[in-house]
């Protein structure tokens, strides 16, 4: 077993350090840097890319928080709605952040007259890279911990401040499973960049990430089963697949030409 003695909330003098918040911000900053660097390939001006990133950042925070609130003790939050605004304390859901980002990007693209499919392809490889960075602190902090396992790479959390149970039981490092999956998805999308019709890259991201999450959540230990033996994220993943697979097929058939990158 691998033992993790990591304090998720240490102090630098009187100042608390939130590792999850820091890696979330780092992941977004690196993803943003990649988007701005890649924007010329898609003939998107830097100013437009920067505006798009600002809208996406707000969409991510709002969507991730609202999705979490709806899934977890909604009536308690409804009784004290100001608690919903406490986005700095963690308690966010990735699928909600993804949906919020998509909606914000779509609205911004409509506002400035930019093709959403082009912007979506630009963002597609950057999303899993940023997400992988965020998963580092999740794994160390014990957030989203896995189910018990006897495998050699099972993790045992020993720090009393860990978000995971400190009961000496080895658990699946599901956060790192997702991290590796995100990097594989990103590498695949980067290899396909410029070889598919506009919009296809984004749908491939949605499909591959939904499949990854569906299987990872079989070993996610802090998520309850809600219906049909499945958890919320798995049901959401299935809904994404039902919508994204036909959309991908339709997109590939109606837009068979390859996207031409700028020289």
59 lies in a domain? yes
Handedness of CA 40, 41, 44, 47 (dihedral sign): negative
Q: What residues does 3 pair with on adjacent strands?
A: 156
Structural domain contains residue 202? no
Give the per-residue pLDDT at 73. Answer: 64
Name the residue among 120, 104, 129, 128 with its Cα closest to residue 197: 120
Any domain includes 200: no
Query: For residues 86 and 155, which has the higher predicted lDDT (pLDDT)?
Result: 155
| Domain ranges, residue 117 | 2-6+15-188
Nearest CA-CA partner of 206 in 163, 245, 234, 249: 245
**pLDDT surpassing 60 at residue 64:** yes
In a domain, 181, yes or no: yes
Whose tokens are 């058939």? That residue is 253
The more confident residue out of 5 and 222 is 5
Please report, in angstroms and rounded to a whole number, the separation of the first and last CA atoms in the chain: 50
Answer yes or no: is 37 within a domain. yes
- Give φ, ψ of 2 to 5 degrees: -105, 125
Establish if 228 belongs to a structural domain. no
Q: 12 to each of 16, 142, 183, how far by Cα in Å?
A: 6, 21, 32
CB distance 214 to 234 below 8 Å: yes
pLDDT at residue 263 in the model: 36
- pLDDT tens sequence across 51-61: 999 999 999 88
The tally of domains found in the chain comes to: 1
Question: Is the full-model pTM beyond 0.85?
Answer: yes
Strand-strand pairing, 155-157 and 225-227: unpaired
- The answer as to whether 139 is a domain residue is yes
Instruction: Report the alpha-carbon distance of residue 153 to residue 172 in Å, rounded.
Output: 8
Phi and psi at residue 193, to the nearest 5°: -60, 130
Helix spans in the chain (H): 19-38, 46-71, 74-79, 94-112, 116-123, 126-141, 174-192, 200-216, 232-254
| Residue given tokens 């396909």 in the structure block | 192
Average pLDDT of span 134-161: 94
pLDDT digits (tens, 9 = 90+) for 93-140: 778 888 999 999 999 999 999 999 999 999 999 999 999 998 999 999
Residue 3 backbone phi and psi in degrees, to 5 = -100, 135
Contact at 8 Å (CB) between 223 and 232?
Answer: yes
Asked if 263 contacts 42 with a C-beta cutoff of 8 angstroms, the reply is no
**pLDDT at residue 262 above 90?**
no
Q: 118 in a domain, yes or no? A: yes
Residue 160 pLDDT more than 70?
yes
């Amino acid at each position: 077993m691998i033992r993790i003695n990591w304090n998720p909330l240490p102090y630098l003098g009187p100042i608390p350090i939130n590792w999850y918040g820091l890696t979330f911000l780092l992941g977004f900053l690196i993803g943003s840097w990649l988007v701005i660097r890649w924007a010329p390939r898609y003939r998107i001006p830097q100013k437009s890319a920067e505006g798009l990133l600002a809208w996406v950042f707000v969409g991510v925070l709002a969507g991730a928080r609202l999705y979490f609130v709806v899934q977890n003790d909604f009536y308690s939050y409804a009784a004290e709605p100001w608690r919903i605004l406490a986005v700095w304390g963690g308690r966010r859901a990735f699928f909600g952040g993804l949906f919020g980002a998509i909606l914000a990007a779509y609205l911004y693209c409509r506002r400035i007259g930019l093709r959403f499919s082009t912007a979506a392809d630009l963002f597609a490889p950057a999303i899993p890279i940023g997400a992988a960075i965020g998963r580092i602190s999740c794994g160390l902090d014990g957030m989203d911990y896995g189910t018990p396992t006897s495998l050699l790479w099972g993790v045992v959390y020993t720090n009393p401040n860990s978000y995971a149970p400190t009961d000496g039981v080895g658990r699946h490092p599901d956060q790192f499973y997702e991290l590796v999956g995100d990097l594989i998805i990103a590498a695949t999308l980067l290899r396909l960049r410029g070889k598919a019709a506009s919009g296809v890259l984004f749908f491939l991201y949605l499909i591959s990430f939904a499949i990854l999450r569906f299987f990872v959540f079989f070993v996610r230990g802090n998520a309850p089963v809600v219906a049909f033996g499945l958890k919320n994220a798995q049901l959401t993943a299935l809904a994404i697949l039902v919508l994204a697979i036909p959309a991908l097929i339709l997109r590939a058939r109606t837009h068979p030409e390859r996207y031409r990158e700028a020289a």
